[in-house]
């Protein structure tokens, strides 16, 4: 594996479980034990009912693109070979939204509401990034998969 | 509760050099801007007993007590405040409260930074936001562009609307000798030819940062009558902070904090949109201007293109917006650029860009000022009159 030079996730005490599950290729978020609300980003209190009891539940890994941007400008030189690339807010089927990248399709094919599914990229021994690809059944004639990134 | 309408006024404005200015610290810009604002108001050093300071990039070393030491002030009232781009408007409210309750006689509000010269420390604006950096999601540009893309999807906004905003503001900057873009005109074609930064934003959708400072002084209406220039009275103030990161936000396409903070400010001021002669609208990005003005009710979703068309907000237009060039074309001192511009326009000392006969616009009596910060996370509204 070549040296990974991009910024790594920066886990806090609250977000560490999320990243630990990602390393195991599991997308898990906190589900409130009282009202069932699934929240993200992680925190100690449910924003809906203020219960402090929660369980890290496994999510389907499926969702759709809520919105996205395409970076042309290199803000960090570690991304200089990646531009242009897409960052997106993914709305998961279970409700919460998270930041990620869209991979496995041409940039011009990326559309809001496009169904996507998680694909974990092992970047270092410590971290795997949850990225998103067009859902397999939608990778048809309109969405030509490109080579693995 | 007792209204603060017309009880306090802005009485002085302080500028500094602005642009790429090496060899200066952010702190020095706070100090110089405060010094010039005190001088502008015609006050003695010993008059000033209150200070509110917005630390750039959350730099806690830049605080009222440190600035006051350099200016030889002793403070009865002081605080750091950061609601990011909404801070200047929030400070108006807090300064007003202190003045009305007699906790201070004269409050100076300061901003300054040096991101280009390096005096603010690295990464104030380009930095990744927490774990987002791992996904290459950088800067305020990334966040506002994310909202703008959703705006294109939901109500068909886009470059046809944003170019009108950018070009109109550049025309104002061309009339403002202090503006970083004073000598550079912008056509529609220039806008479309500017390079893509974070799609859907081109370079000319994005404000330019600067090394500079800005400050203003407030006092009670009673004391304001003895100051050097005509007082600019605070008619109404409002805040609304949606308080959600843009990735999870349900307000990417509005209504943003402009709506609720605007309703509050208008109610306090006892005026309506029709009474507003000109606006200074927070414009870190073109889309921010569109969303803010939608929030205030100037037009509905998707009506921005028609609203801004034919130079309505440019010199000679019926509703001037961002008359100094704003953050897009004058200089970036967060909400201070906009608030101070409204003050000097209402005082009638804006020179070549003065609203009224000079720019073939209505002489302003009442102006609206907005502030917006984080990524649509915070919002302030101030209504001022001469
Ligand atoms: Zn709950």
The per-residue pLDDT for range A19-60, each reduced to its tens digit, is 999 999 999 999 999 999 999 999 999 999 999 999 999 999
pLDDT of residue A8: 94
Q: Does A100 touch chain B (CB under 8 A)?
A: yes
Please check whether residue B252 is in contact with residue B341, taking contact to mean a CB–CB distance below 8 angstroms: no
Per the CB < 8 Å rule, is A129 touching B142?
A: no
Nearest-neighbour CA in chain B from A141: distance (Å)? 23
Q: Does B299 touch chain A (CB under 8 A)?
A: no
Instruction: With a cut of 50, say whether residue B340 has pLDDT above it.
Output: yes
* B126 domain-assigned: no
Same domain, yes or no: A79 and A109: yes
Instruction: Please give the mean pLDDT across all residues of chain B.
Output: 95
The parent domain of residue B101 ranges over: 8-121+211-232
Alpha-carbon torsion (B270, B275, B280, B286), positive or negative = positive
Domain boundary among A7, A25, A58: A58
Instruction: With a cut of 60, say whether residue A146 has pLDDT above it.
Output: no
pLDDT of residue A148: 40
Q: Does A30 touch chain B (CB under 8 A)?
A: no
Instruction: With a cut of 70, say whether residue A140 has pLDDT above it.
Output: no
CA atoms within 13 Å, Cβ hemisphere of B256: 34
pLDDT of residue A52: 98
Same domain, yes or no: B59 and B116: yes
A77 to chain B: closest CA residue = B136
Terminal C-alpha separation, chain A:
14
Nearest to B136 among A67, A87, A89 (CB): A87
CA pair distance A98, B376, nearest whole angstrom: 17
Facing residues of A38 across strands?
A31
Tokens representing B32 are 């110089």
Same domain, yes or no: B183 and B303: yes
Q: Does B132 touch chain A (CB under 8 A)?
A: yes
Contact residues on chain A for B137, CB-CB shorter than 8 A: 69, 71, 87, 99
DSSP, collapsed to helix, strand or coil, labels residue A148 as: coil
Tokens representing B321 are 């917006």
Q: Does B62 touch chain A (CB under 8 A)?
A: no
Q: Does A74 touch chain B (CB under 8 A)?
A: no
The CATH number of residue B88's host domain is 3.40.47.10
Same domain, yes or no: B226 and B344: no
A75 to chain B: closest CA residue = B126
Among A87, A32, A86, A24, smallest CA distance to A61 is for A24
Instruction: Please give the mean pLDDT across all residues of chain A.
Output: 92
* Count of structural domains within chain B: 2
Instruction: With a cut of 80, say whether residue A141 has pLDDT above it.
Output: no
pLDDT of residue B125: 61
pLDDT of residue B215: 98
Among B339, B325, B331, smallest CA distance to B369 is for B339
pLDDT of residue B261: 98
Facing residues of B368 across strands?
B279, B383
Residue pairs spanning A and B at CB distance below 8 A? 98
Task: Name, in order, each residue with C-beta under 8 angstroms of B147's C-beta and a sequence gap of 6 or more.
Answer: A67, B246, B249, B252, B253, B287, B291, B375, B376
In degrees, to the nearest 5, what angle opens at C-alpha B379 toward C-alphas B236 and B133?
165
pLDDT band at B129 (very low <50, low <70, confident <90, very high): low
pLDDT band at B126 (very low <50, low <70, confident <90, very high): low
Among B290, B307, B255, B280, smallest CA distance to B371 is for B280
Same domain, yes or no: B277 and B161: yes
* B360 domain-assigned: yes
Q: What is the mean pLDDT of residues B186-199?
A: 98
Query: For residue B283, what are the CA distances in angstroms to A103, B40, B308, B331, B338?
Result: 32, 26, 14, 11, 9
* A115 domain-assigned: yes
Please check whether residue B367 is in contact with residue B320, taking contact to mean a CB–CB distance below 8 angstroms: no
CA pair distance A54, A31, nearest whole angstrom: 5
DSSP, collapsed to helix, strand or coil, labels residue A111 as: coil
* B127 domain-assigned: no
Task: Name, in order, each residue with C-beta under 8 angstroms of B148's C-beta and a sequence gap of 6 or more.
Answer: B157, B200, B201, B205, B285, B287
pLDDT of residue B57: 81
Pairing of strands B366-373, B278-280: parallel
Q: What is the mean pLDDT of residues B8-21?
A: 97
Nearest to B247 among A7, A76, A97 (CB): A97
pLDDT of residue B298: 98
* Count of structural domains within chain A: 2
């Amino acid at each position: 594996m070549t040296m990974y030079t991009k910024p790594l996730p920066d886990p806090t005490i609250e977000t560490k479980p999320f990243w630990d599950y990602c390393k195991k290729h599991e997308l898990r978020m906190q589900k409130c034990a009282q009202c069932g609300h699934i929240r993200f980003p992680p925190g100690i209190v449910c924003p809906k009912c203020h219960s402090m009891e929660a369980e890290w539940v496994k999510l389907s890994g499926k969702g759709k693109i809520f919105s996205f941007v395409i970076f042309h400008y290199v803000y960090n030189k570690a991304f200089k070979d990646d531009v242009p690339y897409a960052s997106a807010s993914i709305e998961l089927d279970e409700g919460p939204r998270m930041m990620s990248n869209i991979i496995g399709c041409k940039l011009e094919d990326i559309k809001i509401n496009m169904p996507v599914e998680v694909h974990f990229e092992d970047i270092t021994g410590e971290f795997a990034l949850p990225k998103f690809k067009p859902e397999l059944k939608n990778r048809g004639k309109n969405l030509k998969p490109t080579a693995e990134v | 509760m007792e209204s603060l309408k017309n009880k306090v006024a802005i009485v002085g404005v302080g500028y500094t050099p602005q642009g790429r200015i090496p060899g200066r610290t952010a702190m020095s810009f706070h100090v110089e801007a405060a010094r010039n604002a005190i001088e502008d108001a015609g006050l003695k050093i010993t008059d000033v007993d209150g200070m509110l300071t917005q630390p750039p990039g959350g730099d806690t070393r830049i605080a009222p007590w440190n600035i006051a030491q350099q200016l030889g002030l002793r403070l009865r009232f002081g605080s750091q405040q950061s609601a990011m781009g909404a801070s200047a408007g929030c400070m108006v409210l807090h300064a007003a409260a202190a003045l009305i309750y007699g906790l201070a006689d004269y409050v100076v509000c300061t901003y300054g930074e040096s991101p280009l010269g390096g005096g603010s420390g690295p990464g104030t604006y380009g930095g990744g936001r927490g774990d987002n950096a791992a996904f290459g999601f950088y800067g305020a540009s990334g966040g506002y562009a994310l909202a703008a893309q959703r705006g294109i999807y939901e109500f068909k906004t886009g470059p046809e609307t944003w170019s009108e905003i950018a070009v109109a503001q550049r025309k104002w900057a061309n009339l403002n000798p202090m503006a970083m873009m004073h000598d550079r005109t912008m056509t529609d074609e220039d806008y479309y030819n500017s390079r893509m930064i974070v799609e859907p934003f081109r370079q000319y959708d994005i404000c330019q940062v600067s090394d500079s400072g800005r400050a203003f002084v407030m006092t009670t209406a009673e004391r304001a009558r003895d100051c050097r220039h005509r007082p600019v009275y605070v008619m109404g103030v409002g805040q609304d902070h949606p308080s959600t990161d843009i990735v999870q936000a349900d307000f990417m396409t509005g209504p943003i904090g402009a709506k609720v903070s605007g309703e509050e400010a208008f109610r306090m001021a006892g005026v309506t949109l029709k009474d507003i002669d000109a606006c200074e609208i927070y414009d870190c990005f073109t889309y921010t201007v569109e969303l803010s003005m939608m929030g205030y009710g100037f037009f509905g979703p998707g009506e921005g293109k028609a609203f801004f068309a034919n130079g309505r907000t440019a010199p000679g237009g019926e509703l001037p917006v961002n008359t100094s060039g704003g953050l897009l074309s004058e200089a970036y001192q967060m909400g201070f650029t906009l608030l101070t511009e409204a003050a000097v326009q209402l005082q009638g000392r804006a020179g070549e860009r003065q609203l009224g006969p000079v720019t073939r616009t209505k002489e302003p009596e009442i102006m609206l000022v907005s502030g917006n910060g984080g990524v649509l996370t915070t919002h302030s509204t101030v209504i001022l009159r001469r």
